[in-house]
Amino acid sequence: MRFQPARGRRCKREGWMHDIISLISGNGLWVMIIAVVAIGAWFKYREHELRIQQELRAREMEHQEKMKQLELELEKTKAKQAT
């Protein structure tokens, strides 16, 4: 007859720890994949947002230039009418 160690606290604790580690490592792969995809999507979204902001700034500058030109034309017409 072989000697079998009694199942004590140590064995239960190791089993519990093993279950936790296997759960984390099994789900850890999925979490890592999701994190990589999320980071990639965030960078793509950020790049798109920056491009839109740049376009809006360019439009704003064009608008300001047009407004300055209109103000100059308005001043010229007022000056002509005054004389």
Alpha carbon 35 to its chain's center: 11
Instruction: Supply the pLDDT for residue 12.
Output: 53
Query: What pTM value is reported for the model?
Result: 0.54
pLDDT in tens, 8-64: 545 555 667 777 777 777 777 888 889 999 999 999 999 999 999 999 999 999 999
- Residue spans of the domains in the chain: they are 38-83
Tell me the C-alpha distance between 83 and 79, whole Å.
6
- Non-local CB neighbours of 11 within 8 Å, separated by 6+ positions: 5
| DSSP structural state of residue 6 | -
73: pLDDT strictly greater than 70: yes
